[in-house]
Chain A
Amino acid sequence: MQDSRSLHRYRIRFAKLEAMRYTGHLDLHRAWERMLRRASLPVAYSQGFSPRPKIHLSRALPLGMTSECELADVWLEAEMPASEVRKRLETSAPPGLGIGEVEPVPLEEPPIQSQIVSVDYIARLPASVDTRSLARRVERLLAEASLPRERRGKRYDLRPLIEDLRLENGHGEQEQPALMMRLAAREGATGRPEEVLLALGVEPAEARVHRTALHLVETKPHP
Chain B
Amino acid sequence: MSMEPAEVQARLEHILPRVQKPGRYTGGELNQIVKEWDATSTRVALAFPDIYDLGMSNLGLAILYDALNQQDGVLAERVYLPWPDMEAQMHATGLPLYSLETKHPVAAFDILGISLPYETLYTNTLNLLDLAGIPIRSADRASSHPLVIAGGHAAFNPEPMAEFIDAFVIGEGEEVILDIVRAFQAWRERGEDRASLLRSLARIWGVYVPSLYRVEYHQNGTIRKVKPLVEEAAMPVLKRIVGRLPPPITRFIVPFVDVTHNRIPIEITRGCTRGCRFCQAGMITRPVRERSLTEIMRAIEEAVQVTGLDEVGLLSLSSSDHDEIIPLVQEASRKFSDQHIRVSLPSLRIESVSVELMDQLMGQASRSGFTLAPEAATERMREIINKPISTEQLIEIAREIYRRGWHTIKLYFMIGHPLETLNDVRAIAELCKAVLAEGRREMGRRAKVHAGVSTFVPKPHTPFQWVPCDTMDQIRAKQALLKRELRDPGLKLNWNAPEETMLEAWLSRGDRRMGAVIYEAWKRGARFDAWQEHFTYEAWMEAFASVGLDPAFYTHRERPLDEIFPWDLIHAGVQKKFLLEDYRASLRGQTRHDCREGCFACGILPIYSDLRRQNPGEAWKCPEVRTPTRARAHIPVR
Let me know if B256 and A37 touch, CB within 8 A. Answer: no
**Which of A89-97, A147-155, A185-193 interfaces with chain B?**
A89-97
Q: In the assembly, what is the distance between CA of A19 and CA of B254, in Å?
A: 13
- Does chain B have a CB within 8 A of A50? yes
Q: Contacts A27-B23, A38-B305; is A96 near B28 (CB within 8 Å)? A: yes
- Does chain B have a CB within 8 A of A205? yes
Q: A154-189, CB under 8 A of B: which get 1 and which 0?
A: 000000000000000000000000000000000000
Contact of B256 among A20, A49, A51 (CB under 8 A): A20
The residue on A at minimum CB distance from B30 is A94
Q: B1-26, CB under 8 A of A: which get 1 and which 0?
A: 00000000000001011100111001
Q: In the assembly, what is the distance between CA of A21 and CA of B305, in Å?
A: 25
Contact of A94 among B29, B339, B364 (CB under 8 A): B29
Q: How large is the interface on B (under 10, 10 to 19, 20 to 34, 35 or more residues)?
A: 20 to 34
Contact of A22 among B14, B257, B364 (CB under 8 A): B257
Interface residues in A112-148 by Cβ distance below 8 A to B read none
Interface residues in B359-375 by Cβ distance below 8 A to A read 364-366
Chain B residues within an 8 Å CB radius of A19: 26, 28, 256
Let me know if B308 and A22 touch, CB within 8 A. Answer: no
Chain B residues within an 8 Å CB radius of A26: 258
The residue on A at minimum CB distance from B257 is A27
- Does chain B have a CB within 8 A of A222? no
Interface residues in B298-345 by Cβ distance below 8 A to A read 304-310, 339-340
Let me know if A63 and B22 touch, CB within 8 A. Answer: yes
Q: Contacts A45-B340, A50-B366, A53-B340; is A34 near B309 (CB within 8 Å)? A: yes
Let me know if B305 and A94 touch, CB within 8 A. Answer: no
Closest-CB distance, B28 to chain A (whole angstroms): 4
- Does chain B have a CB within 8 A of A58? no
Let me know if A95 and B28 touch, CB within 8 A. Answer: yes
Let me know if A33 and B28 touch, CB within 8 A. Answer: no
Closest-CB distance, B87 to chain A (whole angstroms): 18
Chain B residues within an 8 Å CB radius of A100: none
Q: In the assembly, what is the distance between CA of A26 and CA of B21, in Å?
A: 13
Q: B267-308, CB under 8 A of A: which get 1 and which 0?
A: 000000000000000000000000000000000000011111
Chain A residues within an 8 Å CB radius of B308: 33-38, 92
Q: In the assembly, what is the distance between CA of A20 and CA of B21, in Å?
A: 12
Chain B residues within an 8 Å CB radius of A37: 304, 308-310, 339
Interface residues in B161-195 by Cβ distance below 8 A to A read none
Taking each of B21, B26, B307, B364, which has the highest tally of chain A beta carbons within 10 Å of its own beta carbon? Answer: B26
Q: In the assembly, what is the distance between CA of A22 and CA of B304, in Å?
A: 24
The residue on A at minimum CB distance from B23 is A22
Closest-CB distance, A135 to chain B (whole angstroms): 24
- Does chain B have a CB within 8 A of A104? no
Let me know if A22 and B22 touch, CB within 8 A. Answer: yes
Q: A25-65, CB under 8 A of B: which get 1 and which 0?
A: 01100110111111000000100011101000000000110
Q: In the assembly, what is the distance between CA of A220 and CA of B14, in Å?
A: 38
Q: In the assembly, what is the distance between CA of A63 and CA of B304, in Å?
A: 28
Q: In the assembly, what is the distance between CA of A220 and CA of B524, in Å?
A: 63
- Does chain B have a CB within 8 A of A24? yes
The residue on A at minimum CB distance from B262 is A30
Across chains A and B, which 4 residue pairs bring their CB atoms closest together, nearest first?
Answer: A34-B308, A205-B17, A22-B23, A37-B308
Interface residues of B (CB under 8 A from A): 14, 16-18, 21-23, 26, 28-30, 254, 256-258, 262, 304-310, 339-340, 364-366
Given contacts A37-B339, A204-B17, 20 further A-B contacts (CB under 8 A): A19-B28, A20-B256, A22-B26, A23-B256, A24-B23, A24-B257, A26-B258, A31-B256, A33-B308, A34-B309, A34-B310, A35-B308, A37-B310, A50-B365, A63-B22, A64-B22, A94-B254, A95-B28, A96-B28, A96-B256
